[in-house]
Chains A and B, each alone.
Chain A
């Protein structure tokens, strides 16, 4: 069973808990807005929304320092924002504008922010995993106490390069964290058809690294497990594996729900939707008397204003010069 820890929240700083909640609300609201506006066809690139997976992004990134680096995948919006990536640059990128973080060259699947420590996002499954290990190698070579964290999905565990990277990082005791968001599906294919029935944490034993299995919809449990992995890496103890169970609410790629396709049942979907990482955490904070309705309304209003401003910025920003498409192939 995955670890969760709502009962352990008593000792945590209320202001920090509210910050976690606000960040999850913000990521949810950004992606809901992308979904709502997607049909306007102003965002002319694929989008892989992480609605339902906000606790993994926020919990894990809260365990990192600003100068630590994360690597992400095609589903990178939440990771990018949770690590401190610039929202305006992200929205401009999805709109294909020159002010986008990639200048319109990458689109939604290639978000990065050097200042925030979002080193790169790569849409080929597991492709960014060795990049994280390489960043960790650079830290080790230079004697820096920084950590590189790779966000990967359950499907990544089926890729050879994940196993190569885990083995290499373990042998060289590199300061890396392999953070797996297990959302059960590779596009439409369920985990049970792709991997044998065993705890994913057992994979770590092959590489003599510790592993933790957490409820990926419990932001403080995610945070606690990641802190442990990050501390170990930072202290020179080598890599760790974190498995966080979560669920993607919408279609693999695009703004819609796709339960009509029949690849997953309505019961399963409703169970996970009932375990909403944002809603459950907000309810817990309210039950503890840490969050009032007024405070929540104020948060939502501020977030909505920020998102409106980011969309306005993205829509009004100029496109890149078409003649520049061939620039910058070489440094």
Chain B
């Protein structure tokens, strides 16, 4: 039987549908979940199938409906909460940090909060300072929250199913540009364990850890570097909390070099935590200081002229990883040219067709 190709958005919709069909306790709650657009299509048609009692369209009250979802979870329901932009979750930090993350601990295990909080990170088309932030580090900082960042459509489905089945509050961050990516997605309702990174490319020269959408940029960089004989051991982080880095440390012991590229700001970001932990684990194996690639320390500007340099490109990743691995300057330049040629003239502020996979 030929494997199915789905976009991550379709995969997310299917995961929610299968979970709701299998378990009456599962319901969806948020702003726009029952509207004609259905949160970028990811909840489309569900209210018709399950009714407004299980596809709960809420008033514009982010902190309250987060608390409501937590309260229902304390009573044994399994809510999937969604914000169309991560920024709206800032209004609900009090409930997420104060109640969701602590109920199990404070109650000495008597309470569970089986809650999924889907947060969508925007990017491109001039969305600017308050519609395209990558705030994952804020959530990763909180003990008691899990933080999942899928890149591939198969993970988007499998990890969402696992998040729904998890008895903890799970922040499920969807980069808007992974919604478009396609890949083979199993039809069965099979959770993918939230157990740590997956290797996406093999190599012996440099270890590269990427999160969410940056995995696709990193794949472009790794493939171009392979053409010049640089082997990149590329990991898709998948789960930022709890952070499991055994495979990454093993890889760094072999390569001696580490580059981290994440979707957020570089300073105080997830890359900093990974660099620190790997360094603590295998300092002696490092041949060079770890390198972090992330966003510069300013808000996301809207104008294309201001935003062009804001997001690290696959060229930048290739240059950092290649140089670290000792690739000569002229060959680094060749790698950059290869990537640029593959990119053609597609504007930087829309997803490149080549990022659609399948990967």
Contacts and interface: CB of A to CB of B under 8 A. Distances in A.
A137 B64 contact: no
A268 B69 CA distance: 42
A168 B77 contact: no
Interface string B46-60: 000000011010110
Interface stretch (B103-111, B287-295, B324-332): B103-111
A49 B103 CA distance: 23
A106 interface: yes
Nearest to B66: A130
Contacts of B71: 71, 119, 130-138, 148
B63 A160 contact: yes
Contacts of A160: 63
A129 B61 CA distance: 13
Interface stretch (A217-225, A228-236, A273-281, A323-331): A323-331
Contacts of B99: 120, 122, 127-128, 131
B202 interface: no
B72 interface: yes
A105 B74 contact: no
A124 interface: yes
Contacts of B95: 127, 130, 161
Interface residues of B, number: 43
Contacts of A331: 104, 109, 112, 166-168
Given A114-B110, A164-B59, A133 B68 contact: yes
A137 B74 contact: no
A105 B108 contact: yes
A165 interface: yes
Contact of B54 (A102, A136, A141, A164): A141
B174 to A, nearest CB: 22
Nearest to A326: B143
B109 A130 contact: no
A173 to B, nearest CB: 11
A108 interface: no
B168 A129 contact: no
A161 B60 CA distance: 11
B75 A130 contact: no
Contacts, number: 138
Nearest to B115: A134
Given A131-B99, A330-B104, A168 B65 contact: yes
A105 B110 CA distance: 12
A122 B146 CA distance: 22
Interface in A99-126: 101-106, 110, 112, 114, 119-120, 122, 124
A133 B56 CA distance: 14
Interface string B195-223: 00000000000000000000000000000
Interface in B67-81: 67-77
A134 B109 CA distance: 20
A328 B104 contact: yes
A102 to B, nearest CB: 5
A201 interface: no
A132 B69 CA distance: 10
A111 to B, nearest CB: 10
A72 to B, nearest CB: 13
A136 B72 CA distance: 7
Nearest to B114: A331
Interface in B96-135: 98-99, 103-112
Interface in B135-163: 143-144, 146
Contact of A102 (B59, B98, B106): B106
B147 to A, nearest CB: 12
Nearest to B62: A164
Most B Cβ at <10 Å: residue of A124, A134, A161, A168: A134
A240 interface: no
A160 B108 CA distance: 30
A206 interface: no
A120 B67 CA distance: 12
Contacts of A171: 59
Nearest to B110: A114
A328 B107 CA distance: 9
A134 B68 contact: yes
Contacts of A71: 71
A282 B184 CA distance: 74
Interface string B228-248: 000000000000001000000
A122 B68 CA distance: 14
A328 B65 contact: no
Contacts of B65: 130, 164, 168
Interface string A155-184: 000001100110110011000000000000
Contact of B105 (A148, A167, A329): A329
Contacts of A136: 71
Q: 8 shortest A-B CB distances, which residue pairs?
A: A134-B71, A130-B67, A103-B108, A164-B64, A164-B61, A131-B71, A138-B75, A331-B167
18 contacts: A105-B105, A120-B99, A124-B94, A127-B99, A130-B65, A130-B70, A131-B74, A136-B71, A138-B72, A138-B75, A139-B75, A148-B71, A161-B67, A328-B109, A330-B144, A330-B242, A331-B104, A331-B167
Interface of B: 27, 53-54, 56, 58-59, 61, 63-77, 94-95, 98-99, 103-112, 143-144, 146, 166-168, 242
Given A128-B99, A161-B64, 4 more contacts: A119-B74, A120-B111, A131-B99, A168-B58
